[in-house]
């Protein structure tokens, strides 16, 4: 080490100590730590030691969204609380770090915390109607639907004759008796 370097080191140490900050970003707290998608969460960034009074802060929410804040000691000062709503489920790491914001230099330090967001419940699937015939009002299905799609509807008490006949699939014919109606297989003609 040269004589010049050995003489300058004590002065550099004194200069560094004189300008060192005693505090900075200390912690990130998220309430609630487990939320549902669409639910607002509160994120609080607090200082460690003596809070800086004039610096820039960036909060990264973990979903590619962020917010820059100017700490000025009057309107914006530590602890800083912001609200965030996550649209999708997942685990997000929220980070607070120093960032130059216009004339405000970086706040010293860095902190992070995680929030777990539960995905919204899937929408209930519509109940599919059983494929098959719809018996007219006052009639109820008798037995099961046949392999060819044939069926019989039995008349209930006070059932009225339908105004129009049922449409039957190909290979089936409409029939109606005093107490039932439906679609049945077409009988093959005898030779």
Instruction: Tell me the residue range of the domain where 55 lies.
Output: 24-118
CATH of the domain at 28: 2.60.40.10
What is the three-class DSSP state of 162?
A: coil
Question: Domain check: are 75 and 160 in the same one?
Answer: no
Tell me whether residue 77 is in a domain. Answer: yes
106 and 169 part of one domain: no
List the chain pLDDT tens, one digit each, 191 residues.
555 545 444 444 443 333 445 689 999 999 999 999 999 999 999 999 888 899 999 999 999 999 999 998 887 899 999 999 999 999 999 999 999 999 999 999 999 999 999 998 776 655 544 455 788 888 998 888 888 889 999 999 888 888 888 888 888 998 999 889 999 988 776 66
- Domain total for the chain? 2
Residue 6 is assigned to a structural domain of this protein: no
37 contacts: CB under 8 Å, gap ≥ 6: 86, 87, 88, 89, 117, 118, 119, 120
Query: Does residue 105 sit in the same domain as residue 152?
Result: no
């Amino acid at each position: 080490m040269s004589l010049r370097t050995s003489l300058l080191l004590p002065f550099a140490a004194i200069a560094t100590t004189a300008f060192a900050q005693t505090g900075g970003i200390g912690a990130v707290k998220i309430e609630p730590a487990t939320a549902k998608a669409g639910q607002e969460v509160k994120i609080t960034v607090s200082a460690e030691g003596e809070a800086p009074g004039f610096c820039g802060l960036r909060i990264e929410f973990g979903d590619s969204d962020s917010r820059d804040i100017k700490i000025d000691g009057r309107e914006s000062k530590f602890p800083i609380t912001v609200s965030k709503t996550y649209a999708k489920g997942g685990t997000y790491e929220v980070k607070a770090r120093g960032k130059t914001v216009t004339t405000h230099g970086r706040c010293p330090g860095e902190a992070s915390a995680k929030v777990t967001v539960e995905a919204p419940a899937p929408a209930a699937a519509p109940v599919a109607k059983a494929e098959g015939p719809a018996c007219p009002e006052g009639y109820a299905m008798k037995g099961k639907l046949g392999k060819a799609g044939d069926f019989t509807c039995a008349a209930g008490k006070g059932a009225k004759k339908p105004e129009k006949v049922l449409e039957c699939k190909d290979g089936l014919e409409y029939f109606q008796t005093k107490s039932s109606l439906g679609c049945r297989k077409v009988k093959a003609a005898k030779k």
